[in-house]
Amino acid sequence: MGGELRYEIAQNAYIKLVLHALKHKTSAVNGILLGRVSPQSDVVEITDSVPLFHSHIGLLPQLEISLILIEEHFAAKGVSIVGYFHANERFDDHELGGIAKNVGDHIYRYLPQAAILLLDNRKLEALSKTKDRSPVVQLYTKDASRTWKLVGSDGNQLTIKEPSANVVLLDYISTEKWQDVVDFDDHLDDISKDWLNPELFK
């Protein structure tokens, strides 16, 4: 009873999003977080993610189509949309921008525990040196004041399910695995490309 709501992200969901950001270094990227709220309502489990776009992120048509298709696909598995991932275009831009907040608001309407994860570029860059185990993202949630607030990283409110995820991530970075990530933009340009990335971690 009591205590704060925790967020736990699965390794593959996490790595997929970071690799997506690395594939498109010169633009902002975003993605959808999927999962469920635990039966005791104390943990939001982010079990999967879908990388969305790397261009024209502020436009609605592609976002709407992607959300319809994603929701439909995952509903069959009892998994729903639990949050949004965003990576800013510039390295030293740590702000949660308007677009991210708008998408977050939309998801919040269906799930008040919705989370926004913002890529922390500095933390990602320093990862090979710090060997940090915590995720290279910042967590934002909406509190009673109805604004998106940064959740302090000192508490363990966001953890990666598999503790060695960053080690795996660094390995993938060294082998340029980001080349294999397919996002919704890629799918819309060529529908034979699968935004589910089924072969990515095989």
Residues that bind another protein (CB under 8 A): 26, 28, 55-62, 64-65, 68-69, 72-73, 89-90, 92-93, 97-99, 102, 188-189, 191-192, 194
Instruction: Rank residues 45 and 185 by Cβ distance to another protein and give the closer one.
Output: 185
The enclosing H or E element of 106 equals helix 98-110
Instruction: Rank residues 68 and 170 by Cβ distance to another protein and give the closer one.
Output: 68
Q: What is the smallest separation between the CB atom of 20 and another protein, expressed in angstroms? A: 17
* Residues whose CB falls within 8 Å of the CB of residue 105, separated by 6 or more in sequence, listed in order: none
Tokens of 48: 């999967």
Instruction: Rank residues 121 and 159 by Cβ distance to another protein and give the closer one.
Output: 121
Q: What is the smallest separation between the CB atom of 147 and another protein, expressed in angstroms? A: 18
Q: What is the smallest separation between the CB atom of 58 and another protein, expressed in angstroms? A: 5
The enclosing H or E element of 60 equals helix 60-75
Q: What is the DSSP letter of 151?
A: P
In terms of C-beta distances under 8 Å and separation of at least 24 residues, what long-range contacts does 63-66 make, across chains too?
63/103, 65/188, 66/32, 66/184, 66/195
Instruction: Rank residues 7 and 23 by Cβ distance to another protein and give the closer one.
Output: 23
Q: What is the smallest separation between the CB atom of 195 and another protein, expressed in angstroms? A: 9
